[in-house]
Structure 1
Amino acid sequence: MTQPALAYRWSQSEFVRAWEAKAFDHRVELVEGEIWPVVIGSWHGDAVGQVLALLPRVGVRVTTATLPTGGSLPDPDCWVRRADAEPVGTIGTRLSVWDAADVLLVVEVADETTIQDLNVKARLYGQAGYAVYWVITQEAIYEHTGPIATGYRTRVEYLHGERISVPYAGVELAVDDLIASDLA
């Protein structure tokens, strides 16, 4: 009779120590104790560049830093925080922890990771209390709002030809511009 293999769950501190020791030979993130590879293709890179160029920046900071969330260390493609926000803590020597009220928007660009971003990461970011979470795919943008313990109360799909509101800035952006559809 064979025994089932035991799964090992990494803690944030273990992951950070391994990362700082350069133990990983490619870009990875810690999600609910598991190490996930970060997959980046051509369209993904173009779309992230478009989002970074288009997001309004008055009174905010747009960053690509790791966003410690619960016991995880996800690497959203970008996220926005209040310009005057101060970290509420640190993990290791280089990762800042932020109050959820200061995190105004979290963005994942999903090419090969759509299912994980719409489910696991939506739950993770919602549980953390981040007000707005976007998943950008080549076909649509999925906006999650109303964070709750199980994820988000609302998910709205925005398609090509539509516009999506950027609540922290009081403006709308064209979905086609954010999706970088002319670059796909």
Structure 2
Amino acid sequence: MTRPALAYHWSQSEFVRAWEAGAFDRRVELVEGEIWPVVIGSWHGDTVGQLLAMLPRSGVRVTTSTLPTGESLPDPDCWVRRADADPVGSVGSRLSIWAAADVLLVIEVSDDTTIQDLNVKAKLYGRAGYPAYWVVTQEAIYEHTGPISTGYRTRVEYRRGERIPIPYVDVDLAVDDMVAHHDA
């Protein structure tokens, strides 16, 4: 009888020490004790750029920094927080922790990671209490709202040709304007 190999579960402090020491040879994130590679292709990068250019900025800060969430250190593609918010703590010497009420929108642009973003990360961000989470794919934006301990109560799909409301202002934007066109 063979025994399954034990997977190593990284703590937040172990990950930060390794990251600050330059132990990783590529961009990675810590998700529920696992180290996930962060891969950014052309469509992904173009879409993040479009989102950063389009998201309304009045009274908020739009950032691409790591967002400490529970014991994880996910690296969302961008997220929005209140401009007047102050961090409620820190992880290591360079990462700020924010109150869930100050994090207005978290966005993952999803090319090769759609299943993980719609499931694992939705649970992670919902459990943290972030009020709105988007997964942006080449075909649609999936908006998650109503955070609960197991994820989100509601997921609505906005397809190309439709408009999506921006959760922190009284504005909606065209999905086509926020999602880069895929070049074959």
Same fold (TM over 0.5): yes
CA contact (8 A) 1:46 1:183 kept: no
Task: Deviation per CA, 1:97-153: give whole Å up to 9, x if none.
Answer: 000000000000000000000000000000000000000000000000000000000
1:27 corresponds in structure 2 to 27
CA contact (8 A) 1:48 1:109 kept: yes
Letter in 2 for 1:97: I
1:172 corresponds in structure 2 to 172
Give SS of 2:56's match: coil
Give SS of 1:48's match: helix
Residues in 2 aligned to 1:55 and 1:2: alpha-carbon distance in whole angstroms? 52
Residues in 1 aligned to 2:34 and 2:114: alpha-carbon distance in whole angstroms? 17
Letter in 1 for 2:58: V
1:135 corresponds in structure 2 to 135
Residues in 1 aligned to 2:3 and 2:160: alpha-carbon distance in whole angstroms? 50
Residues in 1 aligned to 2:86 and 2:183: alpha-carbon distance in whole angstroms? 36
Residues 1:89 and 2:89 are matched in the alignment: yes
Residues in 1 aligned to 2:18 and 2:103: alpha-carbon distance in whole angstroms? 27
2:51 corresponds in structure 1 to 51
Residues in 2 aligned to 1:2 and 1:98: alpha-carbon distance in whole angstroms? 44
2:78 corresponds in structure 1 to 78
CA contact (8 A) 2:43 2:182 kept: no
Task: Deviation per CA, 1:19-76: give whole Å up to 9, x if none.
Answer: 0000000000000000000011000000000000000000000000000001100000
Q: CA deviation at 1:6?
A: 1.0
CA contact (8 A) 2:138 2:182 kept: no
Q: Please provide the CA RMSD for this pair.
A: 1.0
Q: Structure 1 vs Structure 2: percent identity of aligned residues?
A: 80
Residues in 2 aligned to 1:12 and 1:183: alpha-carbon distance in whole angstroms? 38
Q: CA deviation at 1:181?
A: 2.3
Stretches of structure 2 that go unaligned for 5 or more consecutive residues are none
CA contact (8 A) 1:30 1:73 kept: yes
Residues in 2 aligned to 1:116 and 1:20: alpha-carbon distance in whole angstroms? 26
Return the TM-score normalized by structure 2.
0.98
Residues in 2 aligned to 1:63 and 1:167: alpha-carbon distance in whole angstroms? 16
Q: CA deviation at 1:183?
A: 6.0
Q: CA deviation at 1:182?
A: 6.8
Give SS of 1:181's match: coil
1:117 corresponds in structure 2 to 117
1:126 corresponds in structure 2 to 126
Give SS of 1:50's match: helix
Q: CA deviation at 1:3?
A: 2.7
Q: CA deviation at 1:180?
A: 1.5
- 1:90/1:139 CA distance change after superposition, 3 Å: same
